[in-house]
Structure 1
């Protein structure tokens, strides 16, 4: 399920699986090709608000892009990219509430399972 490598590597691999060029992705994200290349290679940081849109464009979930080495309670949940983008737009207090609900639900499931 999870691929080895950096976040940029995973995004590049997902883009290639979709048979999408750097130029096509750049156009879709409103960026220039050199920015995409720099982000995929780790030369330039990927803005947090761009990540859900990028994931949606290349058909990968946030959980897949974060990878197994960075699993935390948010990345463990394979939010579809559309929901991840909506989540990222919520005020911080709402996101904290969602985290608590997810954590509580998981703990309950572990006890009952």
Structure 2
């Protein structure tokens, strides 16, 4: 998914897809580390699909664990990458968070 296609919260912590917040990658990651993690994420996602098509539950579980590890490495899951104590709102509907007014303006919806 290219995050550039979706609105990003003013603080850069989330992008929004169909009204839902999704945590962005840690901006402090070095480019080489980010690229390696993204490659692993894409490979693992591909492997999930292959395992599902072959009805291989063990391979699917392994691939899903690799997806999770890559997403945690990117900072998209697990402990938050920011240090100010703000809560993790990953997967929350933007309209139900402190981002509601911002999102209403971006989405062209009433606040």
TM range (shorter): under 0.3
Identify the structure with bigger relative contact order (alpha carbons < 8 Å, sequence gap 6+). Answer: 2
When the two structures are superposed, what TM-score results if normalisation uses the length of structure 2? Answer: 0.24
Q: Which is richer in helix?
A: 1
